[in-house]
C-alpha cells in the first residue's frame, strides 16, 4: 500500500465490518420520474450506465489492508475492471415501485467491486419510471450519496463556481514532531475525557428505557419499504402556530404515527418512549474531499406515551434544544465519534459485536437527507418524488428517513418485512398525524 492510499475513516470501517447478509449496510433512495413514453425507463438505464463511467467516486472499490501500518483496515481504490453494466440494471415493468424496491433493498451489495447499484423500474402505466439507488454506507453517507447520484442526472444549467483546492487522499499517519508533544498529550487527554463522557451518557440513556417490542426483532434479512408524501406548507403551518423548527415537527410526526400504529396493532403505549437516534452531519458545507462519513448524532426519547399531539411536539422541541445546546460532540448520540478511538483491527474483530450492540444504544433511526431545491431530471424526464431509505441496524425493525424536495416532504420507511407486515398502516398513520396537528393548531 502506498503512502497516498485512501484509507477508510474509522466510522466507514465500522460500517464495512458490521455488515452481514441479514443486515446489509447500504442506504438508498427511490426516485420517481414522470415519463413521456413507455421506453423512457430503458433510455434512463442507458444514460445511467454511460454516465457512471465518468463519475470517479462510482469507480471506487473497497479492499482489505493487511500491511503493518494499516493492518486490519480497508482502503478505497479505483477498480481497474469497472464495468457500469455490473451496477445498472433494467427490470421488467411493475405496478408497485415500492414493493419492488423493498425486495431489492434486502439484497447485499457485492463487496468485491464498487459497492453501489442503480435499479431502473419502468412503470406498467407507461407514464412513469423509478430508479432505486443503493450505496454502501462505507462508500457514502447521505450527502456523499446525493453527490454521486447527482453526477449521473442531467446536467444543471448553473453558474460556474471558482475551483477549490483538492485535499490529498487520506494518508498514513506521520510521526509526531517531538516539539509538539506537550500539546499532543493535552489533546489526547481531552479526547479520552470526551470518550468517557460519551460512554457514560450512553450507559445513562439505557436506564429506565421503555420501548416497544414492535421496534425490535430477530433478524430475517427481509425488507419492505413505504413512502409518504406531505405538503411542506402544512408542516410550516404547524411550525408557525407552535414554534420550533421544521425538523421538530417532522420528528414529532414520527412519534405520533408510532403511537397510532401501536394502538391499531393493539400494543400498549403507556410509558413507551423509544430512543430515536437523529444523525447530525459534521461535514463542513465546502469540504473539499466529500468521501468518508462525518457523523455524530442526537438521542431523544420519542413521546409515544403522550396522547396530546401538541404536548408530543413540545417534548420533541425541548429535547432537540437540549441536544443542540450540548452540541454534537457530547451525549449518547455522539457515540459514533468513539469509532475514532478504535484501531482498525479492533473494528474488524469487533464489528459483529458492535452491530449487535446497536439495539442497546437506540431503538429507531430518524434521519433527514437534504436535497437540492432545483428540479432534477434524467433523460429529460422530471424527478417528481424521492424517498430516502436508511439501513436497518441489527435487532431493529424500523428506520425512518425524511427528505424535502420541491415543496413536498417525503418519508421513506424501511422495515424488516417479517417483523412489520403492516408497514402500510404506519405510513397511513404519518398522514393522519399531520392532519391531527393541523386540526389542533387551528386556521
Q: pLDDT per residue over 376-403, tens digit each?
A: 999 999 999 999 999 988 788 999 999 9
Does the pTM of the predicted model rise above 0.85?
no
Alpha-carbon torsion angle 331, 336, 337, 341, nearest 10: 120
SS3 of the chain: helix, strand, coil, percent, to 5? 40, 25, 35
Residue 15 in contact with residue 299, Cβ under 8 Å? no
Of 418 and 2, which is predicted with more confidence?
Answer: 418
Residues 6+ apart with CB under 8 A from 74: 7, 8, 12, 13, 16, 62, 63, 64, 65, 138, 344
- Give the pLDDT confidence of 297-339 residue by residue, as tens digits: 788 999 999 999 999 999 999 999 988 887 755 554 444 434 4
Beta-carbon contacts of 42 under 8 Å, excluding residues fewer than 6 positions away, are: 90, 120, 122
Stretch 5-18: mean pLDDT: 79
Burial category of 66 from C-beta neighbours within 10 Å (exposed 0-12, middle 13-18, buried 19 and up)? exposed
Q: What is the mean pLDDT of the chain?
A: 80
What confidence score (pLDDT) does residue 291 get?
A: 53
- Residue 442's pLDDT is 73
Contact 168, 4 (CB under 8 A): yes
Instruction: Locate the DSSP E strands across 97-195.
Output: 116-122, 128-136
* Residue (of 151, 243, 232) closest to 441 by Cα position: 243
Residue recorded with cell 447520484:
149
Q: What is the pLDDT of residue 23?
A: 83
CA-to-CA distance for 201 and 310, rounded, in angstroms?
Answer: 28
d(CA 35, CA 39): 8
**Stretch 44-62: mean pLDDT, rounded?**
95
Amino acid at each position: 500500500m502506498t503512502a497516498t492510499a485512501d484509507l477508510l475513516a474509522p466510522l466507514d470501517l465500522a460500517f464495512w465490518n458490521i455488515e452481514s447478509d441479514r443486515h446489509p449496510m447500504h442506504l438508498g433512495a427511490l426516485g420517481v420520474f414522470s415519463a413521456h413514453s413507455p421506453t423512457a425507463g430503458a433510455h434512463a438505464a442507458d444514460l445511467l450506465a454511460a454516465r457512471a463511467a465518468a463519475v470517479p467516486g462510482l469507480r471506487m472499490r473497497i479492499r482489505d489492508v493487511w500491511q503493518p501500518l494499516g493492518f486490519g483496515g480497508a482502503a478505497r481504490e479505483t477498480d481497474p475492471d469497472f464495468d457500469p453494466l455490473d451496477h445498472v440494471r433494467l427490470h421488467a415493468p411493475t405496478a408497485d415501485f415500492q414493493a419492488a424496491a423493498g425486495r431489492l433493498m434486502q439484497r447485499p451489495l457485492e463487496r468485491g467491486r464498487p459497492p453501489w447499484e442503480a435499479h431502473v423500474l419502468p412503470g406498467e402505466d407507461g407514464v412513469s419510471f423509478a430508479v432505486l439507488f443503493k450505496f454502501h454506507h462505507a462508500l457514502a453517507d447521505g450527502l456523499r450519496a446525493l453527490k454521486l447520484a447527482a453526477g449521473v442526472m442531467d446536467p444543471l444549467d448553473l453558474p460556474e463556481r471558482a475551483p477549490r483546492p483538492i485535499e490529498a487522499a487520506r494518508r498514513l499517519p506521520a510521526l509526531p514532531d517531538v516539539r509538539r508533544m506537550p500539546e499532543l498529550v493535552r489533546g489526547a487527554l481531552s479526547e479520552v475525557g470526551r470518550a468517557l463522557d460519551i460512554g457514560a451518557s450512553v450507559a445513562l440513556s439505557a436506564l429506565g428505557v421503555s420501548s416497544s417490542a414492535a421496534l425490535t426483532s430477530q433478524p430475517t434479512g427481509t425488507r419492505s419499504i413505504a413512502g409518504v408524501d406531505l405538503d411542506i406548507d402544512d408542516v410550516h403551518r404547524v411550525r408557525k402556530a407552535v414554534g420550533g423548527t421544521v425538523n421538530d415537527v417532522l420528528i414529532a410526526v414520527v412519534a405520533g404515527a408510532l403511537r397510532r400504529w401501536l394502538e391499531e396493532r393493539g400494543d400498549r403505549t403507556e410509558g413507551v418512549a423509544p430512543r430515536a437516534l437523529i444523525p447530525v452531519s459534521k461535514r463542513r458545507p465546502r469540504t473539499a474531499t466529500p468521501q468518508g462519513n462525518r457523523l455524530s448524532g442526537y438521542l431523544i426519547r420519542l413521546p409515544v406515551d403522550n396522547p396530546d399531539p401538541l404536548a408530543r411536539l413540545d417534548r420533541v422541541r425541548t429535547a432537540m434544544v437540549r441536544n443542540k445546546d450540548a452540541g454534537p460532540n457530547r451525549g449518547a448520540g455522539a457515540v459514533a465519534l468513539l469509532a475514532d478511538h478504535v484501531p482498525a483491527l479492533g473494528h474488524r474483530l469487533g464489528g459483529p459485536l458492535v452491530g449487535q450492540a446497536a439495539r442497546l444504544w437506540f431503538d429507531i433511526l430518524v434521519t433527514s437527507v437534504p436535497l437540492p431545491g432545483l428540479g432534477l431530471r434524467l433523460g429529460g424526464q422530471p424527478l417528481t418524488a424521492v424517498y430516502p431509505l436508511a439501513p436497518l441496524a441489527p435487532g431493529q425493525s424500523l428506520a425512518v428517513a425524511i427528505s424535502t424536495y420541491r415543496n413536498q416532504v417525503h418519508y421513506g420507511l424501511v422495515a424488516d418485512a417479517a417483523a412489520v407486515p403492516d408497514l402500510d398502516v404506519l405510513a397511513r398513520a404519518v398522514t393522519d398525524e399531520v392532519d391531527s396537528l393541523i386540526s389542533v393548531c387551528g386556521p
